[in-house]
Structures are given as structure tokens and as C-alpha cells.
Amino acid sequence: MEQRGVLPVSRRHALRLGGAVIAGTLAACSGGSSALNGGSDSEPISGAPQTVSGAMHAGGTRYSVQDLSRAAIDEIQKIINAQGTYENGVLDIEIDRDDIEDVHWHGYRVLPSFEINGDLFFQCLNGDTVYCNADIALKASEVDPFIDALIRNNVTFQAHHQHYYSMEPDIWFIHFRKRGGAADVARAIKNALDVTSAPFPQAPPPHPSTPLPAEELGHIIGATPSIGANGVVGFLLPRANPMMLGGIEVNPYLNIATNIFFQPTGGQNALVSPDIGMTAAEVQSVVAYMRRHDWDSGCLYNQETDEQPQLYFDHFIKAGNALQLAHEIRGALDLTDVKFMT
């Protein structure tokens, strides 16, 4: 049964800020090409950015709050051949790897909607310029061809890693980013995706439901739940501090937030994966806390290059009672500077 009050959106858009906004009273970012087309990620954006209130990082650039236009959203989705969700100023297009089957962790089947996927996040910067920060799940045979395709299309390659040492078969993840005109950025990324066997078209499930107590989990975690395919419950918690990426202060939801996912395994039990973003000063205390509670620490890595402050991410994993595991995760989140919403 579909649960009331729970957002039926893609797995990472888990916070409600007045509902999804496609185009409102804010200045809108249009589609089309940009003067940045083909430029380096570190090059300055043409045009004078508008200052907004808040602290300014030394050497960084801030932009006025702008929405992606309906035209830009439609153009990006058409080129990628996948539908996404737009919320908190960010378009999120989830790419599930339904073509990768029979993945397991300690006897538990791992579903694509839980941990064999990626997300393409787009935000408007100014004028017709968008910023995409993204990741994708890959088979081992796809890793080098995908990296080559990123480089060939002038997309910044940022990270390459596994989430869990005990997942069979091995699944690899690559993080990448690009800014420019909406259509140019979308085409470059689709060119890279086309070297994989990822299935298209894709879209979020229309009427998702879950057997898990999503609202109660959200109360414990401190965020509003979303429900994805196969009843996977997700949460997204942004950093409270400003974040810079490539010299630009980016939206805190642009693939740099802590995300947590619960895959139902029967009753109120779940396979749970919190991907906790931490500063260097937070890593030791968070990992020590999670290990005391017997969570597997799957990895420790940077998702982005040229990020300030530099974040370190660790994908933990554990199976058990969903509510108990949520309490354990909340204890770890309290050791970090995340923004709780409930």
C-alpha cells in the first residue's frame, strides 16, 4: 500500500521544500548552447555572476539562485532519454543498471534501485549555463571505455571506486562533472553513457510503495523519505556548510549530500546503505562509531576533485531491523555537520 505523505520520487530526492518547482518566480536557466561549450571545468564562466547573501569562500564564485527552465529540463531529459525529478533547485535523473543482475552481498540480493545505479544532477548557474555533477555504476569491462568517453567529451573525471569489498560480482562507480549549455552538457554525458549497456529509456516508478515504515524512519533519521523502485526508501541530508566545486559554490543537493537507502528484505527488516559525507575532522569519529555498531565500512574516498572543503565518503552496509539501524545511523549523522529537516 502506498504510504501517505511520502514523496513518490527518485531515490535521492528525499527532502520536501514546498514541493517540486519546475519554473517559478526565480530567474530561469534556459536551454541551448553556451559560451562554455567545450571549455575546461576550471575556466571562468562568462558573464558577471550575481552575489547572494551568505559567507563567501576565498577565491570562489557565488551565483544568484535560479531555476532550470521547463525547456532546459525537457531538453536534458530528451537527450539523456531518461526522466528525472526536479526539487530543491536540482534536476535528478537516476540511471538504474537493470541490465546487471544477480549481484549479492553476504547472501542478500542487491537490487539496482538500491546500490547498482547512478544519478545525474543538474543545477542552473546563470543564463543558459548548467552544472552537472554525477556518478554511474559500471561493470568492470565498462570502466576504461567509460573513462575514455568522458575524456573524449571533455567531461571532468573525478573518482573511480567500489562501494563494497564483499559485493559479488564487483561493481565499480565513476564520478564526473561538466558545466556548459544544457544541451551540450547532456550530449557529452549521453555520449559517455552510450559506451555502456545501461538500458534506456528510464523513468522513476509512477506509484511506488514500500513495506517499510518510511515515515517512522524519517523521524529517526531527521529527513523526509522518498520511495523508489522495489520499495527502496531513501533519504538525503545536505551539508550545513557552503560547498565549493571547481571554484563555484554549488547547490548542496548536487550529488554532494549524505544519502541513505533501505532495501526491504522482509517484514520490517532491510539491507541498509548509508553513504556518509565527512570532512577530514569527522572521519575518525564517524568510522569508529559505525564499527562499534558492527557496520561494514565498504570504502573511503573522495567523490569530487577541486572541492572545498574536501569531503570524504564511506559507504557502510548492514542488514537487520530497519528502525534499529536507523537509530544507529542517526548517531553517526550527529557527528557530522549535516542539515536535519525533521
**Grid coordinates belonging to 282:** 569527522
pLDDT (0 to 100) of residue 151: 98
Please state the pTM of the whole predicted model: 0.85
Phi-psi label, residue 185: left if phi above 0, alpha if psi -120 to 50, beta otherwise: alpha
Q: Is 50 helix (H, G, I), strand (E, B) or coil?
A: coil
Cβ 88 vs Cβ 223: under 8 Å: no
Assess contact for 44 and 163: CB atoms under 8 A.
Answer: no
pLDDT number for residue 24 = 35
- Per-residue confidence (pLDDT) for residue 165, from 0 to 100: 87
Q: Which helix (H) or strand (E) holds 215?
A: helix 214-221
Identify which of 217, 341, 201, 332 has the alpha carbon closest to the alpha carbon of residue 277: 332
Query: In this structure, what DSSP letter does residue 5 have?
Result: T
DSSP secondary structure, 186-200, as one string = HHHHHHHHTTS---S
Give the model's pLDDT for residue 312: 97
Report helix angle 280-292 to 322-333, nearest 10: 150
Sign of CA dihedral 219, 221, 226, 230: negative
- Beta carbons within 10 angstroms of residue 187's beta carbon: 17
Instruction: Return phi, psi of residue 321, to 5°.
Output: -65, 125
pLDDT in tens, the chain (342 residues): 334 334 334 444 433 333 333 333 344 676 554 333 334 443 333 232 322 323 333 345 655 558 899 999 999 999 999 999 998 899 999 999 999 999 999 999 999 999 999 999 999 998 789 999 999 999 999 999 999 999 999 999 999 999 998 889 999 999 999 999 999 999 999 999 999 999 999 999 999 999 999 999 999 999 999 999 999 999 999 999 999 999 999 999 999 999 999 999 999 999 999 999 999 999 999 999 999 999 999 999 999 999 999 999 999 999 999 999 999 999 999 999 999 986
Is the CB of residue 303 less than 8 Å from the CB of residue 258? Answer: no
Q: Are 83 and 203 in contact (CB under 8 A)?
A: yes
**How far does the chain reach from its first CA to its final CA, in angstroms?**
24
Residue 65 is predicted with a pLDDT of: 58
Query: How many whole angstroms from its chain centre is CA 38?
Result: 24
Measured CA to CA, the distance from residue 180 to residue 165 in angstroms comes to: 36
